[in-house]
Amino acid sequence: MNKRKIINDPIYGFVTIPYDIIYDLIEHRWFQRLRRIKQLALTDYVYPGALHTRFHHALGAMHLTGQAIEVLRSKKVDISDEEAEAVAIAILLHDIGHGPFSHALEHTLVNIHHEELSLMFMEQLNREFENKLSIAIQIFNNQYPKKFLYQLISGQLDMDRMDYLSRDSFFTGVAEGVIGHSRIIKMLNVKDNQLCVEEKGLYSIERFLTARHLMYWQVYLHKTVLVAEQMLIQVLKRAKNLAQNNGLSTPSNALNFFLNNDFNQNDLNNQGGEILNQYAELDDADIFSTLKFFKKNEDFALRYLSEGLLNRKLFKIELKNQPFDSDYKDNIRQNVTNYFGEKIDVSNFWLEGKESNTAYTTQKDEIKILLKSGKLVSMSEIDVLNLPKELITKYYLCYPKIFH
């Protein structure tokens, strides 16, 4: 059977399955699950085209990684066939530990970082696939001697970011987010075991970073997306509370498993198998069918939040560059409390927090530029560029639209 299939991708045209094992991994039910997990959670509430999945993203990132490997090899970087396959596996599976509506639900469903779950899945797959994923896992864990392979899949200029920026801007239709991925990849090189970009690619990198900056504010942290995700978190929190104290149960056994327990990294280490199996059952459909189930629940908060989400009747959100004034907050909180009275726990209906973004950090693992002189320097050492501000924080406040 020919496993070198060709898959249509509206961004790159065609993605070719490069190795038989990649085909087999894609066929695996755990990878197929990613078809049911949207990359951008509730972002389609603002950008209706943003329905692409982690499945498609993983294929795309693998495609770009293959191109990068080809470019590096053409520049005499030594990469064996075994390593090329391993890095393809590693990038394909880098997000397999994502659950539905990450990052929103990442710390609500389980208190475990998705990368730990990805690793756990990869290790289990490694057993199923007779240790053929061993090098991929070493690369994923940055334990492989050729560090630049790790940097290809995880770093400030990795193929993960390269694909998701391209993909997210394509499907949202935010044209300004487009980056020159082909050009950047053509400019990649390796020096001193480090992935780097040739000097001629400097301005493409600058553009890449401002694209990321724009996508943060215009898409990833768009205030309507923010408030929808906050409401979803509150639904799950409320449901957890009711499950653990009042015996609430949903039609999804897997979801019930996570509502009834508060798993953390320790639990994963101790009873990983069961957690993994249940986790592998979850996808976006569980969440949405549960919202529909909840909208008829007797608990007012659960009902109110679920119906709001389903019908896109969202809370009001206020966003500022400075923290909100205490009096201002207290006042609103009091109004919410007065309005709803005992029907709700105000902590589910009055949400405050902050969001930060770092389009680029100079604190560690900077992007490296290979000057024409042969010298390797960090991005921030280059005078002519404008790096995005390191850290930008915005403060938000969400609450029901009760005051007209």
In the region spanning residues 280 to 309, those forming contacts with a second copy, defined by CB under 8 A, are 281, 283-286, 288-289, 292-293
Provide the sign of the torsion angle of the four alpha carbons 326, 399, 293, 246, taken in this order.
positive
Q: Return the number of other C-beta atoms located less than 10 Å from residue 142's C-beta.
A: 13
Token pair belonging to 359: 């389009």
Please identify, using beta-carbon distances, which residue of 134 and 380 lies nearer to a second copy: 380
User: Which residues from 159-198 bind a second copy, rule CB under 8 A?
Assistant: 170-176, 178-180, 182-183, 186
Which helix (DSSP H) or strand (DSSP E) does residue 333 occupy? helix 326-340
Q: Is 25 in the site for a second copy (CB under 8 A)?
A: no
For residue 5, which of 21, 26, 23 has the smallest C-alpha distance? 23
Does position 400 bind a second copy by CB under 8 A?
no
64-93 binders of a second copy (CB under 8 A):
none
Q: Which residues pair with 398 in a beta bridge?
A: 317, 351
- For a second copy, the closer of residues 139 and 309 by Cβ is 309
Strands 316-320 and 194-198: unpaired
Position among 3, 51, 116, 261 found at the interface with a second copy (CB under 8 A): 51
CB-wise, 154 or 166, nearer to a second copy? 166
Pairing mode of beta strands 368-370, 194-198: parallel
For residue 56, count other CB atoms closer than 10 A to its CB. 22
Site for a second copy in 97-156 (CB under 8 A): none
* Residue 403 within binding range of a second copy, rule CB under 8 A: no
Residue window 343-372: x/- pattern of binding to a second copy, with contact defined by CB under 8 A: ------------------------------
Is 221 in contact with 394 (CB distance < 8 Å)?
A: yes
List phi, psi (to 5°) of 153: -105, -10
Enter the tokens of residue 10: 């509206």
The CB-of-106 to a second copy minimum distance in angstroms stands at: 21
Q: Which stretch binds a second copy (CB under 8 A): 135-143, 146-154, 209-217, 225-233?
A: 209-217
Closer residue to a second copy in complex, CB, 13/341? 13
Judged by CB under 8 A, the stretch of 97-105, 229-237, 344-352, 382-390 that binds a second copy is 382-390
Give the interface segment with a second copy, choosing from 11-19, 119-127, 260-268, 331-339 (CB under 8 A).
11-19
Q: For a second copy, which stretch binds (CB under 8 A), given 31-39, 110-118, 147-155, 297-305?
A: 31-39
Q: Does 252 help bind a second copy (rule: CB under 8 A)?
A: yes
Q: Over the range 99-129, which residues count as b (16 or more CB within 10 Å of their CB) and which as e? A: bbbbebbbebbbebebeebbbbbbebbbeeb
How far apart CA 152 and CA 378 sit, in angstroms, is: 17
Of 102, 151, 156, 204, the one binding a second copy (CB under 8 A) is 204
At residue 315, φ and ψ (nearest 5 deg) are: -60, 160
69-193-83 Cα angle (round to 5): 40
Between 8 and 245, CB nearer to a second copy: 8
Under rule CB under 8 A, residue 14 binds a second copy: yes
Among 63, 98, 146, 213, the residue binding a second copy under the rule CB under 8 A is 213
Q: Is 391 in the site for a second copy (CB under 8 A)?
A: no
Q: Is 227 left (phi over 0), alpha (psi -120 to 50) or beta?
A: alpha
37 vs 119 by CB, closer to a second copy: 37
Which of 53, 102, 156, 348 is in the footprint of a second copy by CB under 8 A? 53
3-class DSSP assignment, residue 127? helix
- Asked if omega into 103 is within 30° of 0 (cis), the reply is yes
**377 in contact with a second copy (CB under 8 A):** no
Q: Which stretch binds a second copy (CB under 8 A): 52-60, 96-104, 226-234, 345-353?
A: 52-60
| Smallest distance from a second copy to CB 341, Å | 26
**What's the CA gap between 145 and 142, in Å, rounded?**
8
DSSP 325: P
Please state, in angstroms and as integers, the Cα–Cα distance from residue 175 to each residue in 50, 115, 246, 288, following that order.
13, 30, 48, 30
Query: Does residue 312 touch a second copy according to CB under 8 A?
Result: yes
Q: Which CB atom, from 137 or from 248, has the smaller least distance to a second copy? A: 248
